[in-house]
Structure 1
Amino acid sequence: MKFLFVFLALLLSSAGLAVAQSPLRVLVRDERTKTALPGVTVAIPSLGLGAATDADGRATLPDVPAGPQQVQVGSIGYETRILTFTLPQAGDAPALVELEPSSLELQGVVVEATRTGSRIEDVPVRIEVLGPEELAEKSSMRPANIAMLLTEASGIQPQFTSANSGSVAFRIQGLDGRYTQLLRDGFPLYGGFSQGLSLVQIAPLDLRQVEIIKGASSALYGGDAIAGLVNLVSKAPTETPELNVLLNQTQKGGRDLTAFYTGRTGQLGLTLLATQNTQQARDVSGDDFTDLPQVQATTVNPRLFYYISDSTTLYAGLNATVETRAGGYRPALDNPATAGYTERNRSDRYSTQLRLDTHLGQKRVLTVKNSVSSFTRRIEAGSSYFAGRQLSTYSEASLLVPLGTHRAVLGGNVLTDDFRETAAVAAAGARDYQYQTYGLFAQDDWRVLENLTLQAGLRTDYQRPYGLFVLPRFSALYKAGEHVSLRAGGGFGYKAPTIFSSATEQQAYVNVQPLDVQGLRAETSRGLNADVTLRGRLDELNISLNQAVFYTRLDHTLIPDAAQLATGITEFRNAASPVTARGLETNLRLGVEGLQFFTAYTFTDTKQTYDQSQPAQLPFVSRHRLVLTTVYEQEKSFRLGLEGTYNGPQYLGEGTRQGRGFWLLGVLGEKIFAPHFSVVLNVENFLDVRQTRFEPVVLGTPAAPTFRPLYAPLDGIVGNMALKITL
């Protein structure tokens, strides 16, 4: 009997211990953006237990003893938190933990543009990330589009392409905007015909971050990425529903109403962006021609998420933007009966996105995605008329395979691009094209040593009608210590010819001839990039310094035939010799408590060798560009920012004439009155720099004007007041 009682006591004790142990479930988010954080360490040091959060920011520690437990939650780039949880937890819902970004916020950021889902400090490719704070600031300044966001980014130069439509393009490493690929969550939605107005039609309020890769990136995403790529990453649904509303008014007749909702209930999640933007036509210079066009734009972007299981997520999205723009001779714009030149744009942009992510075990992830995009635009420029529709599709399947020290991505994609002019114009010689691209790609990030990572990639595209392209890419990351890292890499690129560029946008496609597909070759490139980054801390001062150099050689460049151009006709041909772009970029970031300082200097030397009668320097490229930004913030109280950019003189493509160098200075203040309410006051270009103060932009008569090339803004000083509400 004695042994029986001992056995029963041990059995009950074991049962009690089993009951006393339960799992700890945690969901980790960024405190500011409310987005899930993968790769965060969740540990109970006293028990030797630990786990890392998955792609949805969730981690589970099994078999934790009952009672209070001290849990440590931390990640590079975020302040570590030590919390006490009492187990067992009530219900199955995970405990919510929000981490505050540390001063060097770019550390710990997970980037998507390289396809591997790695943290930015572990990626061999040099990537710049514009994070939540920069996006919030720029959305307060220009809620209607991301043009201001990229204008003040380092190494990116804006190019104003139309005095009448207000369109703007961006040059990376001195190359034309058509060589930069613009992505939305990895979908190429803004190429070809739809590229002309894309940057001034994308609202930033629903963006989580913007990723910029400079240099040849065609091996990652195919053509159009010769100079680099910009990936816009959208916000995902959050466990706690949230509604952001932004109301904005400028003193020059601009008005914006923007709202963004995010939330998740059970297996369903939703994000919804809705914007209404208007701008009154304004003649700032007093020459009777508009310097700010009349704009009416509406955008709706819903995305529905279905969390099929913990390992599988499906989402479907729709983007619809309808916009009208009008500019030109003000009296004719106000009264159609008055004679005078006007330019009127009507554009309709519709795109769908469908994406499935499923974890197959052993950290393998299968991603399947598809998009369909329709872009229609009609341009009436004086007596000329241009209209067409671009229908494009993109389908891709890829598999992420982590294996030991390797993170490999394999996949394939099909892209179609079909442009058709209207029947009325087609009779005079349509500039239609129909392209199909079939691609296979592979990429491997190999962590050779603890401090050495190599990345090798290869893409093979068959592009109809321009043939086969093999695009290798190689990068290396070496961490020379805790505070020093070096990157170097290079790759090949290509672009199929189209008539759509910054130059043809400036002339509203008037007298632009169809391409001779049989007689043209695709543009190809080879590029090299290298940089060194120093990070450290001196007492309370955080320091980050990055020095980069770059070189790109562009062959078979698509250029207008000089003989035809002299007669007013633009007919494209391949250049007989290359274009080269080389330079250096220096970025310095300092942070202490609530004060942040950033400066970036870029030297760009772009040259052509095919036309000895013109200067070697390419037009519309400033050799010297400087960006200065200072922000002081008292958390949950106020923010004050000062920004300045210097654009050096640039050759304008008219003999040896150069535009003047100029400074653009701005100041922004934001006062937070309550957790859900803040007011922003902003003044851009308070020196009132305008090209029309340097020289007349409009020449000729109101009925038959000619326009000088643009290199500086026309709108001058612009002040705005924004009201931000978070519910």
Structure 2
Amino acid sequence: MRIFLVLALLLSSAYAAVAQSPLRVLVRDERTKTALPGVTVAIPALRIGAATDADGRATLPDVPAGPQQVQVGSMGYASRTVTFTLPQTGDAPALVELEPSSLELQGVVVEATRTGSRIEDVPVRIEVLGPEELAEKSSMRPANIAMLLTEASGIQPQFTSANSGSVAFRIQGLDGRYTQLLKDGFPLFGGFSQGLSLVQVPPLDLRQVEIIKGASSALYGGDAIAGLVNLVSKTPTETPELNVLLNQTQKGGRDLTAFYTGRTGRLGLTLLATQNTQQARDVSGDRFTDLPQVQATTVNPRLYFYATDSTTLYAGLNATVDARAGGYLPALDNPTAAGYTERNRSERYNTQLRLDSHVGRKRVLTLKNSVSGFTRRIEAGGQYFAGRQLSTYSEASLLLPFGAHRAVFGANVLTDDFRETDRAPALAARDYRYQTYGLFAQDDWRILQNLTLQAGLRTDYQRPYGLFVLPRFSALYKAGEHVSLRAGGGFGYKAPTIFSSATEQQAYVNVLPLDVAKLQAETSQGLNADVTVRGRLGELNASLNQAVFYTRLNHTLIPDPAQLARGLTHFRNAPTPITARGLETNLRLAVEGLQFFTAYTFTDTRQTYDPVQPAELPFVSRHRLVLTTVFEQEKNFRLGLEGTYNGPQYLGEGARQGQGFWLLGVLGEKMFAPHFSVVLNVENFLDVRQTRFESVVLGTPTSPTFRPLYAPLDGIVANAALKITL
């Protein structure tokens, strides 16, 4: 009898072990096939559930055998109830795809704030450009993200060179050098390397773009006085996928871009490869290029190792080789002919290494390291500028959720070493070597169900400019289901360099070295506040956001007037501050496949240090309007109409102003089966060009001068693209 009881007990234990097994689920966006973090996966009958991680995965342990009804849902997506039979066969997770159901990017997890919170719960005002917007813009401009940021609210493009095609972006009216660019949380595009960065980043491998406006140095250190832009890459998917995009413009542009993603067992791989070319074109008829000649190649492989369900390691390499040439066309085609030309050759290489490990009770340890090398040579007429920049970034951080808190503590080390490799004999070297050692802490504290506070503090010791203490504070109050309010502020700083939109525009000719002993770092204080009202009227989804901002910039680097009179640029600190203030109004509407978005930005930027010049800062439109309408019939076709208005802007030449102008574009995409689609796009179909308002090139072909640029030069551009998904 005892033997029988023992056997029965063993059999029942074995049966119980077999009868319970884990349920593994992978959740993706039905349209874009990207993983969805923060999605709730639950079995109501058993009262168990979990949320998907950053890779869209969730595991429910100890689920009884047999059929189980599983509810999968997230704000912004239509919920689904799926029946799974346990135990699962094989190690692959069950795939669940959710369809977007609302206008807002609810449920999206943002990475720029480090806490891994969903966008609707973050006290900081963050704008996220999601997969659909990225897919649309990559069809229009596959070579870079310039088009993507041009049509974002509160961001104004500034064209810095017709001969290189470079573009800078002003956030809240401030120069592009005050915006920090990140790739997956790595600051990679600063100093010398920032000049061409926006036109050297293809968008096909991006999952989302996160934009934080206002002083953000407390998050990632210097350079984030105006804000930061974090480019978030796609991660490997369980089902291998290859995306190929072929694009041709009527003005000699050609793009071939391919992106692969896949995962097998514990290994995953993503690979981006692009080849972009552009023929030199004279659109205005003045025999100078309005579109430069471009040859650019980018390769970006990433290898992921999923050591355990809670530990992920990835290593990536990015290589970009870029050659650009512009100027007097006869001399460009024939080097022996007389005439001004400008030639750019750059090479960008960077490595990324990141480890994320869950160390119990939702604690996450993150280790990062990147090494970035950038070389560039500019030949402008008889002048030239060449240099090499080597930057490194290392960081260790620990996410500690406890109770109503999500706290992050960490430390980082950043080095930035620039060396001129060739220079005119009359000028001294403009080299610099910076090291920054930082400690940071941040806490998201959900005091009440509808009130969350975020407090952050960073302390940076920067050689040679000293110690910076950077507090930051934000609050989010949800006044009911349909209204939310945010307010916050923070401090920022930037170590001086000679690299800016103005010096890029003059190809660094006659720019003198910095006198470090006499300079102070630029510092700022900023405030932001906004209110969002969202709701539903029948089938109409509506969202209205109203924001205001203010930034005070101290010790601004400005050219010394005495040196300018001699034709030289030598920077000094301004004795009085610059202020930038304004407001943004964003409205989104959506009904049955039709979406409408409009954004108005008013920006007032003023200087107080030069009574001779107008108080208004140059190259800032006081009024800017963005209009976008998209109609989509799912898996069939998409039609979009977009327009931007840039108001008149002061150009920094006495009281001269540039004209206001509209840029209008139309896009159509037809999907054929599940594997390919055709895109026809026309940008700037009104053919607006600065050369229609005034001559941009003055002087002779051998010794020209160039007016400052404030409007495009290329005019109307049409392109056709073929998108293939395998």
State the TM-score, normalizing by the size of structure 2: 0.98
Q: Residue 530 of structure 2 aligns with which residue? A: 531
Q: Residue 484 of structure 2 aligns with which residue? A: 485
| Residue 427 (structure 1) shift | 6.7
CA shift in 2, pair 1:394/1:62, >3 Å = closer
CA shift in 2, pair 1:426/1:73, >3 Å = farther
Note if contact 1:250-1:719 (Cα within 8 Å) is conserved in structure 2.
yes
| Residue 10 (structure 1) shift | 9.3
Residues paired across the two proteins, number:
726
Deviations 1:157-214 (CA, angstroms, capped at 9, x unpaired): 0000012111110000000000000001111111000011000011000000000000
Q: Residue 666 of structure 1 aligns with which residue? A: 665
Note if contact 2:423-2:429 (Cα within 8 Å) is conserved in structure 1.
no
CA shift in 2, pair 1:418/1:4, >3 Å = closer
Note if contact 2:384-2:423 (Cα within 8 Å) is conserved in structure 1.
no
Q: Residue 280 of structure 1 aligns with which residue? A: 279
Deviations 1:659-703 (CA, angstroms, capped at 9, x unpaired): 000000000000001201100000000000000000000001001
The letter for the 2-side match of 1:666 is G
Q: Provide the C-alpha distance between the structure 1 equivalents of 2:633 and 2:174, rounded to a whole number of angstroms.
A: 40
Deviations 1:319-340 (CA, angstroms, capped at 9, x unpaired): 1101110000011111112111
Deviations 1:491-513 (CA, angstroms, capped at 9, x unpaired): 00000000000000010001101
Q: Provide the C-alpha distance between the structure 2 equivalents of 1:491 and 1:54, rounded to a whole number of angstroms.
A: 30
The letter for the 2-side match of 1:347 is S
Q: Residue 165 of structure 1 aligns with which residue? A: 164
CA shift in 2, pair 1:609/1:270, >3 Å = same
Q: What is the correspondence of 1:312-331 to structure 2 with a 5 Å cutoff?
A: 312-331=311-330
Q: What is the correspondence of 1:302-313 to structure 2 with a 5 Å cutoff?
A: 302-313=301-312
Moved more, 82-91 or 667-676: 82-91
| Residue 46 (structure 1) shift | 2.7
Q: Provide the C-alpha distance between the structure 1 equivalents of 2:277 and 2:344, rounded to a whole number of angstroms.
A: 14
Note if contact 2:385-2:422 (Cα within 8 Å) is conserved in structure 1.
no
Q: Provide the C-alpha distance between the structure 2 equivalents of 1:426 and 1:331, rounded to a whole number of angstroms.
A: 29
Note if contact 1:420-1:433 (Cα within 8 Å) is conserved in structure 2.
yes
Moved more, 468-477 or 421-430: 421-430
Q: Provide the C-alpha distance between the structure 2 equivalents of 1:191 and 1:696, rounded to a whole number of angstroms.
A: 33
Q: Residue 412 of structure 2 aligns with which residue? A: 413
Q: What is the correspondence of 1:309-388 to structure 2 with a 5 Å cutoff?
A: 309-388=308-387
CA shift in 2, pair 1:576/1:383, >3 Å = same
Note if contact 1:33-1:208 (Cα within 8 Å) is conserved in structure 2.
no
Q: Provide the C-alpha distance between the structure 2 equivalents of 1:433 and 1:427, rounded to a whole number of angstroms.
A: 19
Q: Residue 644 of structure 1 aligns with which residue? A: 643
Q: What is the correspondence of 1:545-560 to structure 2 with a 5 Å cutoff?
A: 545-560=544-559
Q: Provide the C-alpha distance between the structure 2 equivalents of 1:295 and 1:16, rounded to a whole number of angstroms.
A: 67
The letter for the 1-side match of 2:620 is V
CA shift in 2, pair 1:10/1:341, >3 Å = closer
Q: Provide the C-alpha distance between the structure 1 equivalents of 2:604 and 2:302, rounded to a whole number of angstroms.
A: 42
What is the root-mean-square deviation in Å for CA atoms of aligned residues? 1.6
Q: Residue 447 of structure 1 aligns with which residue? A: 446
Moved more, 398-407 or 41-50: 41-50
Note if contact 1:356-1:367 (Cα within 8 Å) is conserved in structure 2.
yes
Q: Provide the C-alpha distance between the structure 2 equivalents of 1:49 and 1:129, rounded to a whole number of angstroms.
A: 31
Q: Provide the C-alpha distance between the structure 2 equivalents of 1:308 and 1:350, rounded to a whole number of angstroms.
A: 27
Q: Residue 103 of structure 1 aligns with which residue? A: 102
Q: Residue 117 of structure 1 aligns with which residue? A: 116
Q: Provide the C-alpha distance between the structure 1 equivalents of 2:393 and 2:232, rounded to a whole number of angstroms.
A: 18
Q: Provide the C-alpha distance between the structure 2 equivalents of 1:639 and 1:571, rounded to a whole number of angstroms.
A: 51
Q: Provide the C-alpha distance between the structure 1 equivalents of 2:247 and 2:510, rounded to a whole number of angstroms.
A: 40
Q: Provide the C-alpha distance between the structure 1 equivalents of 2:314 and 2:20, rounded to a whole number of angstroms.
A: 37
Give 3-state SS (helix, strand or coil) of 1:563's partner.
helix
Note if contact 2:20-2:65 (Cα within 8 Å) is conserved in structure 1.
yes
Q: Residue 205 of structure 1 aligns with which residue? A: 204
Runs (5+) with no aligned partner, structure 1: none
The letter for the 1-side match of 2:190 is G
Q: Provide the C-alpha distance between the structure 2 equivalents of 1:62 and 1:311, rounded to a whole number of angstroms.
A: 14
Q: Residue 32 of structure 1 aligns with which residue? A: 31
| Residue 48 (structure 1) shift | 2.6
Note if contact 2:420-2:431 (Cα within 8 Å) is conserved in structure 1.
yes
The letter for the 1-side match of 2:57 is R
Q: Residue 584 of structure 2 aligns with which residue? A: 585
Q: Residue 196 of structure 1 aligns with which residue? A: 195
Note if contact 2:247-2:720 (Cα within 8 Å) is conserved in structure 1.
yes
Give 3-state SS (helix, strand or coil) of 1:231's partner.
strand
Note if contact 2:474-2:488 (Cα within 8 Å) is conserved in structure 1.
yes
The letter for the 2-side match of 1:316 is A
Note if contact 2:386-2:422 (Cα within 8 Å) is conserved in structure 1.
no
Note if contact 1:78-1:105 (Cα within 8 Å) is conserved in structure 2.
no
Q: Provide the C-alpha distance between the structure 2 equivalents of 1:205 and 1:221, rounded to a whole number of angstroms.
A: 25
Q: Residue 244 of structure 1 aligns with which residue? A: 243
The letter for the 1-side match of 2:443 is D
Note if contact 1:103-1:592 (Cα within 8 Å) is conserved in structure 2.
no
Give 3-state SS (helix, strand or coil) of 2:280's partner.
coil
| Residue 711 (structure 1) shift | 0.4
| Residue 84 (structure 1) shift | 1.3
| Residue 9 (structure 1) shift | 8.3
The alignment status of 1:612 with 2:616, answered yes or no, reads no
Q: Residue 91 of structure 1 aligns with which residue? A: 90
Q: Residue 270 of structure 1 aligns with which residue? A: 269
Runs (5+) with no aligned partner, structure 2: none
Deviations 1:207-249 (CA, angstroms, capped at 9, x unpaired): 0000000000000000000000000000001111110000000
| Residue 456 (structure 1) shift | 0.4
CA shift in 2, pair 1:362/1:339, >3 Å = same
Q: Residue 47 of structure 1 aligns with which residue? A: 46
Q: Residue 561 of structure 1 aligns with which residue? A: 560
The letter for the 2-side match of 1:207 is L
Give 3-state SS (helix, strand or coil) of 2:437's partner.
strand
Q: Residue 622 of structure 1 aligns with which residue? A: 621
Q: Residue 697 of structure 1 aligns with which residue? A: 696
Q: Provide the C-alpha distance between the structure 2 equivalents of 1:428 and 1:6, rounded to a whole number of angstroms.
A: 95
| Residue 16 (structure 1) shift | 5.2
Q: What is the correspondence of 1:500-515 to structure 2 with a 5 Å cutoff?
A: 500-515=499-514
Q: Provide the C-alpha distance between the structure 1 equivalents of 2:91 and 2:348, rounded to a whole number of angstroms.
A: 43
CA shift in 2, pair 1:546/1:122, >3 Å = same
Give 3-state SS (helix, strand or coil) of 1:46's partner.
helix
Give 3-state SS (helix, strand or coil) of 1:564's partner.
helix
Q: Provide the C-alpha distance between the structure 2 equivalents of 1:426 and 1:316, rounded to a whole number of angstroms.
A: 42
CA shift in 2, pair 1:13/1:263, >3 Å = closer
Q: Provide the C-alpha distance between the structure 1 equivalents of 2:457 and 2:682, rounded to a whole number of angstroms.
A: 47
Note if contact 1:581-1:604 (Cα within 8 Å) is conserved in structure 2.
yes
Note if contact 1:453-1:476 (Cα within 8 Å) is conserved in structure 2.
yes
| Residue 580 (structure 1) shift | 0.1
CA shift in 2, pair 1:18/1:515, >3 Å = closer
| Residue 7 (structure 1) shift | 11
Note if contact 2:427-2:512 (Cα within 8 Å) is conserved in structure 1.
no
Moved more, 666-675 or 59-68: 59-68
The alignment status of 1:519 with 2:524, answered yes or no, reads no
Deviations 1:281-336 (CA, angstroms, capped at 9, x unpaired): 00000000000000000110111111111111111111110111000001111111
Deviations 1:393-451 (CA, angstroms, capped at 9, x unpaired): 11111111101111111111111111111255477311111111111000000000111
Moved more, 31-40 or 348-357: 31-40
The letter for the 1-side match of 2:269 is L
Deviations 1:70-102 (CA, angstroms, capped at 9, x unpaired): 211111121100111122222332211111222
Q: Provide the C-alpha distance between the structure 2 equivalents of 1:45 and 1:267, rounded to a whole number of angstroms.
A: 31
| Residue 43 (structure 1) shift | 1.6
The letter for the 1-side match of 2:138 is S
| Residue 12 (structure 1) shift | 6.8
CA shift in 2, pair 1:68/1:604, >3 Å = same
Note if contact 1:69-1:85 (Cα within 8 Å) is conserved in structure 2.
yes
Q: Residue 686 of structure 2 aligns with which residue? A: 687
Q: Provide the C-alpha distance between the structure 2 equivalents of 1:404 and 1:370, rounded to a whole number of angstroms.
A: 31
Q: Provide the C-alpha distance between the structure 2 equivalents of 1:6 and 1:712, rounded to a whole number of angstroms.
A: 88
Q: Residue 465 of structure 1 aligns with which residue? A: 464
The letter for the 1-side match of 2:300 is N
Q: Provide the C-alpha distance between the structure 2 equivalents of 1:375 and 1:21, rounded to a whole number of angstroms.
A: 55
The letter for the 1-side match of 2:685 is F
Note if contact 2:55-2:235 (Cα within 8 Å) is conserved in structure 1.
no
Give 3-state SS (helix, strand or coil) of 2:688's partner.
coil
Q: Residue 388 of structure 2 aligns with which residue? A: 389
Q: Provide the C-alpha distance between the structure 2 equivalents of 1:7 and 1:267, rounded to a whole number of angstroms.
A: 40
Deviations 1:473-498 (CA, angstroms, capped at 9, x unpaired): 00000001111110000000000000
Q: Residue 220 of structure 1 aligns with which residue? A: 219
Q: Provide the C-alpha distance between the structure 2 equivalents of 1:14 and 1:396, rounded to a whole number of angstroms.
A: 47
